[in-house]
């Protein structure tokens, strides 16, 4: 493959299954002068799999400031350089931003070689609304800041996409139930493209119970997707939430949701979800 000189290629690599790499990515990695990798051991496994013997250099958050001037100089001198991260797309909760920014500032061409990213992979199969999406990366690691962070997202109507580790997935779910309400729809996408790939779909409360009950479901890598806040359908002069609450105090929840839909408009399913929100968290 003809490779362009003085170009920084930002190359997406697999998030599990080594077959998930594009033909073009393999060509570029096989042809560039330098490959900058977050973890050279990990990238070497990928390169060996595809019979590529490229010049690998470690490039990560701890040495990027030190190495960057040299990388930019090589680019200016005509070298072609590929940037990869451990998995997925560089810069997506991964290193590379400073280098790409600096290359752009110096008018050096930056060419993306698209491919996997756990967020898009999860979104494509979760079955949650994908027209408006808020990618959040990793949330805070400890309880109090995480709850504050979640509270700031409570009114958001876009689908929330969060990266999480096995150590914190249960804590994240517990806090999400507390702050967003047990009734919110959510999906846990675990071990995408790998042997134990699993999608758990349900309400936040159901998912929390599922993970509490089964330690295996807490193993691996996770993308948590949470449906955005479903606004109460417009109800004209009637205060629809009040109607819903009043009916729910006398009737079973599904019947209350059905009647509210008849009175205020909207779908019974949405009103049922709204009722769960109203009864389980500070949704309004
Ligand atoms: N750059 C990567 C991308 O494009 O998705 C993300 C890197 S970030 C450091 C790693 C996080 O991505 C993991 O902690 C997990 O939340 C998510 N992730 C990566 N691979 C995954 C997979 N196979 N299944 C589920 N989540 C994954």
Give a three-class secondary structure readout of the chain. Answer: CCCCCCCEEEECECCCCCCCCCHHHHHHHHHCCEEEECCHHHHHHHHHHCCCCCCEEECCCCCHHHHHHHHHHHHHCCCCEEEECCCECCCCCCCCHHHHHHHHHCCCCEEEECCCCHHHHHHHHHCCCCCCEEEEEECCCCHHHHHHHHHCCCCCCCEEEEEECCCCHHHHHHHHHHHHCCCCEEEEEECCCCCCCEEEEEEHHHHHHHHHHCHHHHCCCEEEEECCCCCCCCCCCCCHHHHHHHHHHHCCHHHHHHHHHHHHCCCHHHHHHHHHHHHHCCCC
**What is the residue range of 37's domain?**
8-116
End-of-domain residue from the set 56, 82, 116 = 116
Looking at the structure, tell me whether residues 177 and 195 fall in a common domain.
yes
Report CA(15)–ligand 1 centroid distance (Å). Answer: 7
Q: What is the pTM of this model?
A: 0.84
User: Residue 118 CA: which ligand 1 atom is closest?
Assistant: 5
Number of domains observed in the structure of the chain: 3
Confidence of residue 182 (pLDDT cuts 50, 70, 90): very high
Reported as a pLDDT band with limits 50, 70 and 90, residue 55 is very high
Tell which of 82, 99, 116 closes a domain: 116
| Ligand 1 center from residue 57 Cα (angstroms) | 22
Select, from the ranges 14-28, 228-242, 258-272, the one with the highest average predicted confidence (pLDDT): 14-28
Q: How confident is the model at residue 161 (pLDDT cuts 50, 70, 90)?
A: very high
Question: What pLDDT score was predicted for residue 231?
Answer: 82
The residue contributing the CA closest to ligand 1 atom 2 is: 88
Mutate to test the pocket of ligand 1, among 17, 60, 118 (most ligand atoms within 8 A of CB): 118
Residue 3 lies in a domain: no
Atom nearest to 89 CA in ligand 1: 4
Q: Measured from the CA of 90, which atom of ligand 1 is nearest?
A: 1
Asked if the model's pLDDT at residue 200 lies above 80, the reply is: yes
């Amino acid at each position: 493959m003809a490779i362009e000189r003085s170009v920084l290629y930002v190359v997406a690599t697999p998030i599990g299954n080594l077959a998930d790499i594009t033909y073009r990515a393999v060509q570029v990695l096989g042809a560039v002068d330098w490959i900058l990798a977050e973890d050279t051991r990990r990238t070497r496994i990928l390169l060996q799999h595809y019979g590529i013997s490229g010049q690998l250099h470690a490039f990560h958050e701890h040495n990027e400031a030190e190495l960057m001037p040299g990388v930019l100089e090589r680019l200016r001198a005509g070298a072609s350089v590929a940037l990869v991260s451990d998995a997925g797309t560089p810069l997506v909760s991964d290193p590379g931003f400073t280098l790409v920014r600096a290359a752009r500032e110096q008018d050096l061409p930056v060419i993306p070689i698209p491919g996997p990213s756990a967020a898009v992979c999860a979104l494509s199969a979760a079955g949650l609304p994908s027209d408006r999406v808020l990618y959040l990366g990793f949330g805070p690691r400890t309880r109090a800041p995480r709850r504050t962070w979640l509270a700031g997202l409570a009114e958001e109507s876009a689908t929330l996409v969060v990266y999480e580790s096995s150590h914190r997935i249960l804590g994240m779910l517990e806090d999400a139930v507390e702050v967003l309400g047990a009734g919110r729809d959510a999906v846990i996408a675990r071990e995408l493209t790998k042997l134990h790939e699993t999608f758990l779909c349900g309400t936040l409360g159901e998912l929390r119970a599922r993970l509490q009950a089964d330690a295996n479901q807490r193993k691996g890598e996770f993308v948590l997707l949470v449906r955005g806040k479903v606004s109460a359908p417009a109800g004209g002069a009637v205060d629809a939430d009040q109607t819903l609450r009043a009916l729910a105090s006398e009737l079973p929840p599904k019947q209350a949701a059905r009647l509210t839909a008849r009175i205020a408009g909207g779908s019974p399913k949405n009103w049922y979800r709204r009722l769960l929100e109203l009864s389980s968290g500070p949704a309004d």
